[in-house]
Chain A
Amino acid sequence: MTDFPRIAVVGFAHSPNVPSTHGTTNGVEMLIPCFNRLYDDLRISRTDIDFWCSGSSDYLAGRAFSFISAIDAVGAVPPINESHVEMDAAWALYEAWVKIATGEVDLALAYGFGKSSAGDMDRTLALQTDPYTVAPLWPDAPSLAGLQARAGIDSGAWTETDMAQVAARTDGPTVDDLLSTDYVREPLRAHDIAPYADAAAAVVLAGEERARELVENPAWVTGWDHRIDTPNFGARDLTRSPSTKLAGDTAFGDRSRDVDVAEIHAPYTHQELIVRRELGLGSNTRINPSGGVMGGNALFSAGLQRIGYAAHAILGGDARTAVAHATSGPLLQQNMVLTLEGEN
């Protein structure tokens, strides 16, 4: 990306990833503290933001155009430049990146939100599947994940122990303890499935000049790509993720994959194993130092949070290089890879 303008992540905030909140499904209560934190951190006001983009889903809110209500948290006078994606807000950030890359704006904020506790997410996510031949059967999300987990075990790509090790990294109990628990969706146990969370998150992206004004050590974007696999998961090798590999190959280019930090968006333990393999990370890479989504799968902001945490490691001086992965859709259908680098 030698001819590309330099663009950096300069700010990140998220509300706690909690099992439930008292707030509305439009996320306003969760978003306001995130925005205020970013304005304070960067010493900017809301009118300094040139472009806003959000990621959320009407299916979580149970009403049409729910993302419009969230704009109350922004304040739309004087009129704002705004867009929305019905995907994880990592994709909203990508749209913001394109907007800056075109030279149209200098400072952009992407946010995502979802009140998972308002509905039954295992069922709601079934509606992401093919509406003709799959969704009418109402396959719940963890059941689909169970099919993918077993495909990997049967093929020898991973074991239940490998999966438990992913959970044990943040969970506390030992691998043996975890493996002695009951199946929830055989071969998945409770520790293999990220619990849904209510949360909102926001990330600020800036062009080079603006980034240097705002923070001491911007987290420069060195590569960014997102790809998609067929929605027909019955026609895929579920143990692999070609879209992650392709996105990773483009994002990394010929740079080292031995980055300091990798934030991986994996709502199921075996999915982290798939993504790690496709990204070809180095042995020194710290995986999900934030805890990843196992502490709370904040629908529609969890991927943005991964980018935020990866950038935060650089902004805060804990890493010089980082990679973030985000996913959207059932069974790792769509995948995004973003590489970041600091100067200090």
Chain B
Amino acid sequence: MSVPAPESTILSAELTNSFDYTRSLGPVLSQFALALRDGRIVGSRGADGRVTVPPAEFDPATGSATADIVEVASVGTVQSWTWQPSPTEGQPLDRPFAWALIDLDGADTSLLHAVAADSPDQVSTGARVHAVWRGARTGRIDDIAHFALGDSAEAAAPSDGEPIADEAGDVVITTPIAMSIEHSATEQESWYLEGLKAGQFIGGRVSTGEVYFPPRQVSPADGSPTVERVTLPDSGTITTFCIVNVPFLGQQIKPPYVAAYVLLDGADIPFLHLILDVPADEVRMGMRVKAVWRPQAEWDHTLRNVSHFAPTGEPDADFETYRNHL
């Protein structure tokens, strides 16, 4: 089931996504967040008397909503640990440290956190550790900067004046998430992107005869493979369109303007582009258009190399020529 090696160079690029997740904590975890901000740690007491830290929103034994929030110590005992020799971005410490499951005094479950130590020899199961608090705290788990060896509790600095809860006591926290992916194009997408860079439209013919632009590895209709590279002209027909009158966030063109599906001559599927150099109310189905390229010095691996499509002045295409490509 080996994958055949590509015949042309595959284009790839790093793609970094980042997103700040904004989370409403609800009645139980809000109390955990508020306590962290005060430099305290709380858990929940279940019907069986066991204390879960962080608090559970529902009693692990009975499933009923948590009602009993109790404070536990910021000092505890290492239940298990491992050594992180090469910390990565976002982890609590930027020098080698231990990850540990810590049973805080008064709790019956373990909290995951980092323990600062110079070497793994200093860490052991059963070791006593205490929380080291950040100065500026926001209700997040990393308000505890890390844990340190030894069982003398450290007092947290008083929190600043900014409240983090609404009137009902509910807290919203923000946790940024970012990750990088090395995104690779398919072989056919790579032809397409290289073509754009060279000022050409390159599509692909699949074994059942249709020409896709942009080309795909296989026909999305029936999975038949792309068998031939096809250089297409930069003229085509508007199959359908819409006039954009509504302003929206991030809009780059002043409304009204026309976004249209353009079916390149010789292609079997239209793609979306911008129609300019004609009043919006004169654009119509069947209108013949041609690409208007940006200056060659600006060309890159992107369809933005084409500034827009503009009418050619030719007579409109007959509906029958594009009716199967709408």
Measuring CB to CB, which residues of chain A are less than 8 angstroms from any residue of chain B? Answer: 13-16, 21-25, 28-30, 32-35, 37, 46, 59-63, 71-77, 117-120, 122-124, 127, 131-140, 143-144, 146-151, 154, 183, 185-188, 230, 232-235, 238
Q: Are A186 and B56 in contact (CB under 8 A)?
A: no
Complex CA–CA separation, A35 to B1 (angstroms): 9
Complex CA–CA separation, A118 to B112 (angstroms): 28
Instruction: Decide: A119 near B81, CB < 8 A? Known: A15-B2, A72-B217.
Output: no
Cβ of B297 within 8 Å of any chain A Cβ, yes or no, is no
Cβ of B39 within 8 Å of any chain A Cβ, yes or no, is no
Cβ of B186 within 8 Å of any chain A Cβ, yes or no, is yes
Q: Are B113 and A14 in contact (CB under 8 A)?
A: no
B residues near A118, Cβ cutoff 8 Å: 181-184
Q: Are B1 and A15 in contact (CB under 8 A)?
A: yes
Interface string of B201-222 (1 = CB under 8 A from A): 0000000000000001111111
A residues near B179, Cβ cutoff 8 Å: 59, 62, 119-120, 123-124, 127
Write the nearest CB–CB distance from B131 to chain A, whole angstroms. Answer: 13
Instruction: Decide: A147 near B81, CB < 8 A? Known: A59-B179, A137-B141.
Output: yes
Cβ of B84 within 8 Å of any chain A Cβ, yes or no, is yes
B residues near A186, Cβ cutoff 8 Å: 82-83, 120
Complex CA–CA separation, A133 to B222 (angstroms): 46
Measuring CB to CB, which residues of chain B are less than 8 angstroms from any residue of chain A? Answer: 1-3, 5-6, 10, 15, 17, 21, 23, 25, 29, 32, 52-54, 56, 60, 79-84, 88-92, 99-101, 109-114, 120, 125, 140-142, 173, 175, 177, 179-186, 189, 216-225
B residues near A138, Cβ cutoff 8 Å: 88-91
Write the nearest CB–CB distance from A184 to chain B, whole angstroms. Answer: 8
Please name the residue on chain A nearest to B98 by beta carbon. Answer: A186
Please name the residue on chain A nearest to B9 by beta carbon. Answer: A22
24 A-B pairs whose Cβ atoms sit less than 8 Å apart in the complex: A15-B1, A15-B2, A21-B3, A22-B3, A23-B3, A24-B186, A25-B183, A25-B184, A29-B217, A30-B3, A32-B217, A32-B218, A33-B2, A35-B223, A75-B218, A75-B219, A137-B91, A137-B113, A137-B114, A138-B89, A140-B88, A147-B99, A154-B80, A185-B82
A residues near B89, Cβ cutoff 8 Å: 138
B residues near A73, Cβ cutoff 8 Å: 218, 223
Instruction: Decide: A62 near B217, CB < 8 A? Known: A16-B1, A24-B186, A123-B179.
Output: no
Complex CA–CA separation, A135 to B173 (angstroms): 13
How many A-B pairs with Cβ below 8 Å? 190
Write the nearest CB–CB distance from A264 to chain B, whole angstroms. Answer: 23
Write the nearest CB–CB distance from B190 to chain A, whole angstroms. Answer: 10
A residues near B101, Cβ cutoff 8 Å: 147, 151, 234
Write the nearest CB–CB distance from A68 to chain B, whole angstroms. Answer: 10
| A37, A119, A131, A132 pick with most chain B CB within 10 angstroms | A132
Instruction: Decide: A29 near B3, CB < 8 A? Known: A119-B179, A185-B84.
Output: yes
A residues near B56, Cβ cutoff 8 Å: 232, 235
Instruction: Decide: A37 near B1, CB < 8 A? Known: A75-B220, A119-B181.
Output: yes
Complex CA–CA separation, A154 to B99 (angstroms): 16
Complex CA–CA separation, A71 to B32 (angstroms): 44
Complex CA–CA separation, A123 to B220 (angstroms): 33
Instruction: Decide: A46 near B223, CB < 8 A? Known: A118-B182, A136-B141.
Output: yes
B residues near A75, Cβ cutoff 8 Å: 218-224
Q: Are A28 and B186 in contact (CB under 8 A)?
A: yes
B residues near A61, Cβ cutoff 8 Å: 181
Write the nearest CB–CB distance from A72 to chain B, whole angstroms. Answer: 5
